[in-house]
Amino acid sequence: MQNKSRTKYIAILVISYMLIALVWWSVLLFSKNNEAFNSQTLRFNEGNLTSEAYAQIEEKHARQKYMIIGEGLVFGIMLIIGIRLIVKSYSRELAVAQKENNFLLSITHELKSPIAAIQLILDTFKKRELPKETFDTLNTNALEETDRLNTLVGNLLYANKLSYGTSFHFEQRDLVQLLKNILLHFEKIHPQFDIQTDLRQSVYGKVDDDAFKIMISNILENAIKYSGESKEIMCRLSLENDKAVISIEDRGIGISDQEKKTIFEKFYRIGNEDTRETKGTGLGLYLCKEIVTAHKGDIVVKNNNPKGSIFRITIPAYDK
């Protein structure tokens, strides 16, 4: 942080020097030009120059004056543009550095938290005889934490593969069956949630199985994470103009219009890592966007009614 502050102050000093130098040289050139013109004017007044020669000198003086003004303006505009680009680049670098710092903070917590919870539950099973109801509750919690850890590791590995240009393996699949398998898994891991479906229409698409599972799982995890008091989640699949449309709807706390523009950015999360209560690393929705794009589709988020969010995924559909 100290190095960044030092770099910032050096940049300010350099920019200030350039601005002062621009003004100084402009004033100096004006002064020299006026001195030369005044000298010739004195010669003309003394009768040492003809009217024609003085007119040429006067015209040359005017051209030099406008040239100094023009070059000064061009240089000044270029300097301002350069400063804006530098400031924009610097701000972007700071934002990326902050996101990466937040990511490191969150990943440390996200890895340690489920491991600690699972270890505590296993220690409890080992040391105590528990009533069946308590055992089932702790067992469900352990499954949730294990699934959370598995999702986290999967996201990290897949994000790393994307950064190195992973290749997708597209095969024609029954999207209804793929969705049912993913939703069945979530119902087992999160029995407290009421996951409803509208998957009556047969729809087929060319998808990468692993990528598709990561995409849907991350959106479901997001719906669960921000569900608030509501435990209802709806998954719909429909066919619209040769497009497979998957909608995952929740009735949670919703997403502000400003945040809708940034939630698909890599490492983006709301708030400060030291005070944030929700879990996550800022990779989930970024992966969803990258995967949908690889499938030549689109993903948008909009408000649900009366509250919550709807994630709408559109990818090409194909005949069986």
- pLDDT tens digits for range 203-230: 999 999 989 999 999 999 888 888 878 8
The pLDDT of 123-130, averaged and rounded, is: 87
Q: Is the pLDDT of residue 103 over 70?
A: no
Phi, psi of 168 (to 5 degrees): -95, 145
137 and 74 assigned to the same domain: no
The count of domains in the chain is 3
Q: Is the pLDDT of residue 161 over 70?
A: yes
Alpha helices in the chain (DSSP H): 2-45, 51-127, 132-163, 175-189, 209-225, 257-260, 284-294
* Tens of pLDDT, residues 166-201: 778 899 999 999 999 999 988 888 888 889 999 888
229 and 283 assigned to the same domain: yes
The pLDDT of 245-272, averaged and rounded, is: 82
The pLDDT of 115-142, averaged and rounded, is: 88
196 and 245 assigned to the same domain: yes
Domain end among 125, 142, 163: 163
The pLDDT of 18-33, averaged and rounded, is: 80
Residue 215, CA atoms < 13 Å, CB-side half-sphere: 27
Q: Is the pLDDT of residue 318 over 60?
A: yes
Domain end among 112, 133, 163: 163
pLDDT-based confidence at 154, cuts 50/70/90?
confident
More confident residue, 109 or 40: 40
The pLDDT of 79-83, averaged and rounded, is: 78
225 and 255 assigned to the same domain: yes
Alpha helices in 190-310 (DSSP H): 209-225, 257-260, 284-294
Domain end among 75, 98, 121: 98
Residue 185 lies in domain: 171-316
Phi, psi of 147 (to 5 degrees): -65, -40
> How do 204-207 and 171-174 pair as beta strands?
antiparallel
- What is the average pLDDT score of the chain? 82
Q: Identify the CATH number of the domain in which residue 137 sits.
A: 1.10.287
15 and 85 assigned to the same domain: yes
- The model's pTM is 0.62
